Chain A
Amino acid sequence: MNASSLDRYQRAESLIHQLDPRIKILLSMLFILSNVLLPDGAAIGFFLSWMLILLINIISKLQLSFILKRSFIALPFTLAAITVIFTLPGETIAEWEIGSWVLTATDSGLLRFLSILVRSWLSVQVAILLTATTTFPDIAHSLRHLHFPKILISILSFMYRYLFVLSEEAQRLLKARAARAARIPKEKARSFLWQAKVAGNMVGQLFVRSLERSERVYSAMQARGFRGQFLTLSPHHLRNKDYLIGVIGFTLLMSIQFIQFNI
């Protein structure tokens, strides 16, 4: 496994790939906002939002399975919401007896749960679309145009640059541990204190290596004239096309809200 497989960017030539990242970020945020504002059980609204995602997916020439596969990342978190089925007041749809406990599933509880599920599933897909069609340096650069704090953007850019390097370093450490630990004496293998100590030493090792790397990086960058900020050779310009797509996207989102609440 190499670390570049961590990157979610999918190279392609499409309208969405060429769209100004500022517009993409703003539209993604608006989509998620619109999504969260849809009430429980807003079937039409959710369906239209999904259609919009599929449309963007097709325009951006990504494989449908690409997004679908990754869209389940938030699924484990739904455990946190599952209990709402049994606790929201409403009409009973099913009852189970577990020992002395009686679980009563209600219709409004189920509706709330499914709505939370769909909302997060749709929102995740938009976020995946954003990162699949925009390189991270572009995202970072357009965050600067959107007046995010410069220091935070610089840290993020450095972080992105060394993420893969240090992740590979961590993978090497893990591989080395797996190789060394083929035969741990039984009493040691069981003791998680010992295991934690080994892991702690690995983290410490990684810490020291990272610290030294950051010093080398700084010297090297200073030698090249770094003054604490990244410069870019490709200034982003908002073209008419970008404005047009921005307006179309906004209108579509508003129409989803309008249709949901008026039909």
Chain B
Amino acid sequence: MYLSPTPLHIPDGFLSILISILFWAISIIFVGLAICRSQKELEDRQIPLMGVMAAFIFAAQMINFPVAGGTSGHLLGGALAAITLGPWAGILVMTSVVALQGLLFQDGGLLVMGANIFNMGILTTLVGYSFYRIAIHQKKNIRLASAGIAAFLGVLAAALMTAIQLWLSGTSPAKIVFPAMLGIHSLIGIGEALITVATLGFIYKVRPTILSLQNIEEKAKKGWVIPGFTIAILVVLLSPLASTNPDGLEKVANELGFIELSQASIFEIFPDYILPIFGDGNFSNIFAGIIGLLLVGLFAYFIGKFINKRKTS
């Protein structure tokens, strides 16, 4: 098949409304920051570069190779994009890939696109870049190996986050979704790691300047390592825990009231005085939903305004 939807593209209807809106907000912050930084540092030549490279990631996802058992491995590309283009450009490129897959091919939903962008666009680039950044002063083989580990952990981070979102939305129970998601994606992650390393090896051979020390250091500061590394450590610690002891996780989340909150009808979250005219019937739901979307829209608008202001000043 041409487009194989990976188990990471969440379709609409699988996440609760609150989770969808929450992850839109988180993704908007990251993408806003990325836009901010890109506009400050890059000239207009970056736009065709990022556009064509986004198309490249999309096309590269078609190149598959057989893995044992009749399955095939292919690239997701977050780590590759982050390492070759830098983390900020990587986030923008991966965001565009996820957005276009959802908009044009229905590969991933529209209302849940914020979650998809966060999982596949932001987490994979953050983790992918930080690991490579640590190793840039090492020998080539060590750099390649750390890129492989980064690619693997990036996929695992995305899978873990997808599992968390599905679980909190009440779509799948913890004791199944964690082992299943992490199990499948530790295989997919190995494929991702191998192909990322092989691709980088090829680029080293034919275009070594792209991966040169100077070029990488120019693109982002060391501070990048911290968030990516923190996520990676969380993934390493949480994954075995989540897949072996999901009941414990469920209990903790229940006690903290996470599950109830994320599955509640959204109007229950608004205080009583906001929606009195619609009564306390379920009809208030859609108004509350619209208000939620409007809030996210306003939020995005102000971030956009802030970005434009910084650009002109």
Known: A167-B58, A203-B195. A226 touches B111 (CB 8 A): no
Cβ of A204 under 8 Å from chain B: yes
Q: Determine whether A23 belongs to the interface, using a CB cutoff of 8 Å to chain B.
A: no
Contacts of A226 in B (CB 8 A): 44
User: Main secondary structure on chain A at its contact with chain B?
Assistant: helix
| A166 and B47 form a contact (CB under 8 A) | no
Q: Tell me, in angstroms, the Cα distance from A118 to B11 when the chains sit together.
A: 12
- In the assembled complex, the Cα of A81 lies from the Cα of B169 at a distance in Å of 11
Other-chain contact of B5, A76, A152, A221 (Cβ < 8 Å) = A76
Task: State how many angstroms separate the Cβ of A116 from the closest Cβ of chain B.
Answer: 6
B31-68 vs A, CB cutoff 8 Å, 1 = contact: the mask equals 11001001100001101111111111011101111111
B186 at the interface (CB under 8 A from A): no
Once the chains are docked, how many angstroms separate the CA of A150 from the CA of B48? 13
Q: Does A243 contact B (CB under 8 A)?
A: no
Residues of A within 8 A of B84 (CB): 207
- For the complex, what is the distance from the CA of A161 to the CA of B53, rounded to whole Å? 12
Given A74-B11, A77-B9, A227-B44, are A196 and B63 neighbors across the interface (CB < 8 Å)? no
Interface string of B7-29 (1 = CB under 8 A from A): 10111111011001000000000
A229-247 interface code vs B (CB 8 A; 1 in, 0 out): 0000000000000000000
The answer to the question of B286 belonging to the interface, with a C-beta cut-off of 8 Å to chain A, is yes
Q: Are B283 and A151 in contact (CB under 8 A)?
A: no
B7 touching A32, Cβ below 8 Å: no
Q: Which residues of B contact A119 (CB under 8 A)?
A: 12-13
Q: Is A169 an interface residue (CB 8 A)?
A: yes
Distance in angstroms from B256 CB to nearest chain A CB is 20
Q: Is there an interface contact between A127 and B109, defined as CB atoms closer than 8 Å?
A: yes
Contact call B12/A35, Cβ cutoff below 8 A: yes
Query: Are B58 and A158 interface neighbours, CB within 8 A?
Result: no
- The segment from B126-134, B202-210, B212-220, B235-243 that touches chain A is B202-210
8 A Cβ contacts from B71-111 to A: 73-75, 80, 84, 92-93, 95-97, 99-100, 102-107, 109-111
A28 → chain B closest CB, angstroms = 7
Taking a contact as CB atoms under 8 Å apart, the answer to whether A84 and B172 are in contact is yes
Interface residues of B in 176-213 (CB under 8 A from A): 176-177, 180-181, 191, 194-203, 206-207, 210
Given A81-B14, A159-B96, residue A192 in contact with residue B60 (CB < 8 A) = no
Bound-state Cα–Cα, A25 to B92, Å: 22
Contact across chains for A81 and B203 when beta carbons are under 8 A apart: no
Given the complex, which residues of A lie within 8 Å of B282, measured CB to CB? 39, 261
Check if A10 is an interface residue, CB within 8 A of chain B.
no
Decide yes or no whether A182 CB sits under 8 A from chain B. no
Q: Which of A7, A123, A155 has the most CB of B within 10 A?
A: A155
B12 & A204 in contact (Cβ 8 Å cutoff) = no
Cβ of A33 within 8 Å of any chain B Cβ, yes or no, is yes
Q: Which of B11, B92, B196, B285 has the most CB of A within 10 A?
A: B11
Q: In the complex, what residues of B have CB within 8 A of residue A210's CB?
A: 52-53, 55-56, 59
- B interface list, Cβ under 8 A from A: 2, 5, 7, 9-14, 16-17, 20, 31-32, 35, 38-39, 44-45, 47-56, 58-60, 62-68, 73-75, 80, 84, 92-93, 95-97, 99-100, 102-107, 109-111, 166, 170-173, 175-177, 180-181, 191, 194-203, 206-207, 210, 265-266, 281-283, 285-286, 289-290, 293, 300-301, 304, 307
What are 17 pairs between A and B in contact, CB < 8 Å? A33-B289, A37-B265, A81-B166, A116-B14, A120-B11, A120-B109, A128-B106, A149-B35, A151-B35, A154-B51, A155-B92, A200-B198, A201-B198, A203-B198, A210-B55, A211-B52, A261-B282
